[in-house]
Chain A
Amino acid sequence: MNPASKLMRVLVVDDDEVTAAVLEHSLIEFGYDVTVAHNGREAFQLIRSGEIRMVVSDWCMPEMSGLELCRRIRERSGGAYVYIIMLTSNSRTQDVVEGLNAGADDYITKPFQPEELQVRLRVGERVLSLESRDLTIFALAKLAESRDPDTGAHLERIREYCRIMAQELVRTGETGEDLDGDFVHMMYLTSPLHDIGKVGIPDQILLKPGALTDDETEIMRRHTVIGGETLDALVAAHPEARFLLLARDIAWTHHERYDGSGYPRGLAGRAIPLCGRIAALADVYDALTSKRVYKDAMSHEAAREVICEGRGSHFDPRVVDAFLRRDQDFHRLQRALADPPTPVAALS
């Protein structure tokens, strides 16, 4: 667990204090931040505070039943989705249907078994992270695109390049880092956000056709810090969304260089997160092989040459090796996703 990320807050609702205490204890052991309410009304007030992401609620309570609580939560407009697990002592189909109709996501029969509870909570976390992941990436990527002068298929290419290198590194396992298939998918999802910080760069610099002055370059470089800090704030608000950590690291470090000569922090070697080392190569390869107002597109072979020269200085040698092993895939994608000569295609 990343020390900077908050624990997910789960609300336990049960009028029976014994059950509430046992539930609370288990949930803390599972690594959640737990709040306890002893009736539905109290629970609803806490949920309105907006800090609660998951609820484990008793069914049958005085004042406001679990069912009623469910309905009230779902009736709210706005606010993040709250995942609701109902605890029921009667597992009759009729009750389960009624609960699900009221908006419960899942139910557990009392008395609960810790293993079962943990599995159900993990499912809930997964649902929540998918929900916020899809929403957040969609919104952010749109924002990034609207301000990025490198329009066209730039973001599409970057995510494909990142995926290829991540796949290769996971396959060979030579980075010595604990990577899995999820890393590949997360790289694919989050790499388009690398330049999100450009939303904070003034137009006259971002869109300037000619070369930038030293001062302007300094400001332009701040897109890494702006992006990193923006995503860091999102990490704090959505601790369950693991992809945001990756997106943050990519935004912050995709202009760092392996030998420490990059920006914004001059990190070197493994101090640069792997995702940043991968994105750095993808970004450079794409810049080299794309046509700009002020330059022609470089051929794949010439770009490969440049990247080989940067092996161990600009780029992580292992990432370069992964690139070289898959360079035909890069070449194929680069041609397939090349920006069209006219913007007509963008209208379809």
Chain B
Amino acid sequence: MGQIMTTVSAATSREILDGEELLARCMGNWDFALRVLGKFRARLEADVADLDQALGVQDWDLLARLAHRIKGASASVSALQLRQRAAELEHAARARRVAELSTCVERLRHESNRLVQELSVLELDACEAR
């Protein structure tokens, strides 16, 4: 497990995913942490797709709700940057700062892609470590 932890820290910048904090929140259970990350990733990809739709139909409440959920889930897996991007989007959507919204969604998507890529590397490493 320590070995995997080292891999996480090396491969992933702490701002993208704080593996140590995540592991602590998973009570040191790395298998469980990986399962949670899998769930998180699937949810994230679906929610990001929904963001575009909400933006398209100008449903700002839905946009805020989706951003809020992404924020919560990111916080739970210690994806700090993504959490920040989601918080910004949620805030802008609630305040109806409509002009900023597509930029916010774009920035969130960018961070989401970066994270998903890191997660793929991580999953690969975890498989090899077995």
Provided the pairs A25-B32, A60-B68, A111-B78 are in contact, do residues A18 and B73 lie with their beta carbons within 8 angstroms? Answer: yes
Is B71's beta carbon under 8 Å from chain A? yes
Complex: how many Å from CA A22 to CA B40?
Answer: 11
Interface string of B24-40 (1 = CB under 8 A from A): 11110100100110011
Asked if B43 lies at the interface with its beta carbon under 8 angstroms from chain A, I say yes
The answer to whether A110 touches B72 (Cβ under 8 A) is yes
* A21, B25: Cβ atoms closer than 8 Å: no
A18 to B37, CA, bound (A): 8
List, in ascending order, chain A residues with CB within 8 A of B75's CB: 19, 89, 110-111
Q: B39 near A21 (CB under 8 angstroms)?
A: yes
Q: Would you give the shortest CB distance from A285 to chain B, in whole angstroms? A: 50
Residue interface mask A9-30, B partner, CB < 8 A = 1: 0000011111101100110010
Task: Decide if A18 touches B25 in the complex (CB within 8 Å).
Answer: no
- A25 in contact with B27 (CB, 8 Å): yes
Chain A residues closer than 8 Å to B96, beta-carbon distance:
none
CA distance in complex: A19, B32 (Å) = 13
Contacting pair A18 B27 (CB below 8 A)? no
Bound Cα distance from A60 to B40, whole angstroms: 19
How distant is A209 from chain B, measured CB to nearest CB, in Å? Answer: 64
Instruction: Report whether A114 and B76 are in contact in the complex, using a CB–CB cutoff of 8 Å.
Output: no
Q: Which residues of B contact A60 (CB under 8 A)?
A: 68
**CB of B68 to closest CB in A, whole Å:** 6
B97 interface residue per 8 A CB criterion: no
**Is A94 on the interface with B (CB-CB < 8 A)?**
no
B36 x A18 contact (CB < 8 A) = yes
- Are B39 and A17 neighbours in the complex by a CB distance under 8 Å? yes
A112, B27: Cβ atoms closer than 8 Å: no
Q: Does B16 contact A (CB under 8 A)?
A: no
Interface contact B25-A26, CB-CB below 8 Å: yes
Q: Give A14 to B72 CA distance when docked, in angstroms.
A: 10
Per-residue contact bits, chain A 53-86, to B (CB 8 Å; 1 contact, 0 not)? 0000010101000000000000000000000000
Find B69's partner among A15, A21, A111 (CB 8 Å cutoff): A15
Residue in chain B with minimal CB distance to A22: B76
Is the CB of A113 closer than 8 A to any CB of chain B?
yes
- Check A21 against B78 for contact (C-beta < 8 Å): no
Complex interface bits, A207-240 against B, C-beta within 8 A gives 1, otherwise 0: 0000000000000000000000000000000000
Give bound CA distance, A91 to B69, whole Å. Answer: 17
A62 contacts B65, C-beta separation under 8 Å: yes
Q: Which residues of B contact A19 (CB under 8 A)?
A: 72-73, 75-76
Distance between B46 CB and nearest chain A CB, rounded to angstroms: 11
**Interface residue tally for chain B (C-beta within 8 Å):** 21
CA distance A112 to B24 in the complex (A): 11
Residues of A with C-beta under 8 A to B65:
62
- B74-112 near A? 1/0 per residue, CB < 8 Å: 011110000000000000000000000000000000000
Distance in angstroms between the alpha carbons of A289 and B24 in the assembled complex: 60
Contacts of A25 in B (CB 8 A): 26-27, 29, 32, 36
Shortest beta-carbon distance, B85 to chain A, in Å?
14
Q: Can you report 16 A-B residue pairs in the complex whose CB atoms are below 8 A from each other?
A: A14-B72, A16-B72, A16-B76, A17-B43, A17-B73, A18-B36, A18-B76, A19-B72, A22-B25, A22-B26, A25-B26, A25-B27, A29-B27, A110-B75, A110-B76, A111-B78
Chain A nearest CB from B32 CB (Å) reads 6
Nearest 8 CB-CB pairs, A to B?
A111-B75, A18-B73, A19-B76, A16-B72, A18-B40, A29-B27, A16-B73, A16-B69
Query: A97-130 vs B: 1/0 string, CB under 8 Å?
Result: 0000000000000111110000000000000000
| Least Cβ–Cβ distance between A15 and chain B, in angstroms | 7
Question: Whole-angstrom distance from the CB of A333 to the nearest CB of chain B?
Answer: 50
Whole-angstrom CA separation of A25 from B34 in the bound complex: 13
What is the minimal beta-carbon distance from A16 to any residue of chain B, in angstroms?
A: 4
Q: Quick check: A18 and B26 within 8 Å, CB to CB?
A: no
Q: B76 contacts which chain A residues (CB < 8 A)?
A: 16, 18-19, 22, 110-111
The reply to whether B25 and A112 form a contact with Cβ atoms under 8 Å apart is yes
Q: Which interface residue of A14, A15, A19, A111 has the most chain B CB atoms within 10 A?
A: A111
Which residues from chain B contact A16 at a C-beta distance below 8 Å? 43, 69, 72-73, 76
